Amino acid sequence: MAYLENIAVFVRVVELGNLSAAGRDLRISPAVASNRIKELEKHLGVRLFNRTTRQLSPTEHGRVFYEGARKVLEAVAQADAAVSALSGQPRGTIRVTAPLGIGRRLIASGIPDFHDRYPDIEVRLRLSDRQVDIMKEGIDVAFRLGHLEDSSLRMRGIMDCERVLAAAPAYLENRGEPKTPQDLLSDKHDCLMLRYPGAQEFVWTLRTPEGPRKFEVRGPFDSDDGDVVTGWALAGRGIICKPRFDIERYLADGQLKIVLPENPPLPVQLAAVYPHKNFQDPKVRLLLDFMSERCQRIIRDILSGRS
């Protein structure tokens, strides 16, 4: 068992790049993680990592061992899942990620309720607006707004989410209200964008009489945190493109106003993405069922004014 635990630590260090991150993920101290790597290296008789002050990178021996070690852990996880399915008592750990806004408003509050229902399942939630590499970082389920592009993953659609363009009344009084989508491209208006490596939010696809059309909008600043972008809009600094449920409370109390209502952005799909290998894992399917129903209910309540 200790050897398997050492392998698990090794795999997470390779995937996350350093002992501290792996330790946090596995809920052990960096010192314990370091000792487990040393035990593994002693057992194998080779050095598994090139060490620098900030990061560990696998040696050639480490890269070869990682490929086999990852398959061993996947096989053990699949065996655990098969036994859980037979016993009717799902157990184990699920690593979940979501964008900050979705995570805070839809996912995080449901984790305790899910654990109450399935006490033998641990959920480790990581929130980030960056595009997480699910395979590299060992994520079991990622909740996303967008479309699946990676064919090595599976996707379960949860619901289509209406999006709107919105700005603060003070901004519209100062700059004027855009009358056509082309007005967004003029120097008169600033668009506030959620942008991270690989993001496409600086291209807004709007409905027009001629059909959907892409607009390469611009603005003086952008952020990789969706709540920061919303905060700038509330402060009167520009126009945002957001899922309606995410800003409905600000629309309801007048802090934000919808602009170009005749040319709304195309809706975006809220979905759960997960590796193919997790498709038959009972605990993953239970989480997907639980969160899908919960997200649909919360969004509908928000939009109907019940939340």
pLDDT tens digit sequence for 250-271? 999 999 999 999 999 999 899 9
- Residue after which a domain boundary falls, among 61, 80, 99: 80
3-class SS of residue 43? helix
d(CA 276, CA 152): 7
* Helical segments of 88-148, H only: 100-102, 111-117
Domain shared by 11 and 106, yes or no? no
β-bridge partners, 258? 166
Q: Are 201 and 241 in contact (CB under 8 A)?
A: yes
Domain shared by 294 and 259, yes or no? no
Domain shared by 109 and 242, yes or no? no
Cα separations (Å) of 254 from 75, 157, 240? Answer: 54, 32, 15
Domain shared by 53 and 41, yes or no? yes
Domain shared by 154 and 273, yes or no? yes
Question: What is the amino acid identity at position 64?
Answer: V
Domain shared by 59 and 195, yes or no? no
- Classify residue 294 by its DSSP letter: H
| pLDDT at residue 252, rounded to an integer | 94
Q: How many domains does the chain contain in total?
A: 3
Residue 145 tokens read as 């707004």
Supply the range of the domain harboring residue 241. Answer: 163-266
Domain shared by 259 and 202, yes or no? yes
Domain shared by 274 and 133, yes or no? yes
d(CA 184, CA 196): 21
Q: Count other C-beta atoms under 10 Å from residue 119's C-beta.
A: 10
pLDDT tens for residues 29-51? Answer: 888 888 888 888 888 888 888 87
Residue 191 tokens read as 């668009």
pLDDT tens for residues 167-226? Answer: 999 999 999 999 999 999 988 999 998 876 555 557 899 999 999 999 999 888 888 888
CATH code at position 284: 3.40.190.10
Whether the predicted pLDDT of 232 surpasses 90 = yes
Tell the burial category of 60 from Cβ atoms under 10 Å away from its Cβ (0-12, 13-18, 19+).
exposed
| pLDDT at residue 85, rounded to an integer | 58
Choose between 121 and 26: higher pLDDT.
121
Domain shared by 155 and 169, yes or no? no
Q: Are 67 and 10 in contact (CB under 8 A)?
A: no
Domain shared by 100 and 169, yes or no? no
pLDDT tens for residues 88-99? Answer: 677 888 999 998
d(CA 132, CA 268): 18
d(CA 254, CA 294): 27
Whether the predicted pLDDT of 288 surpasses 90 = yes
pLDDT tens for residues 115-126? Answer: 999 998 999 998
**pTM for this one?**
0.72
Residue 155 tokens read as 């996707």
Which of the four pLDDT bands, split at 50, 70 and 90, describes residue 100? confident
Q: What is the mean pLDDT of the chain?
A: 86
Domain shared by 94 and 221, yes or no? no
- Classify residue 64 by its DSSP letter: H
- Residue after which a domain boundary falls, among 41, 59, 80: 80
Relative to beta strand 121-127, strand 92-98 is parallel
Domain shared by 193 and 262, yes or no? yes
Strands of 235-284 (E only): list them. 240-243, 257-259, 268-275
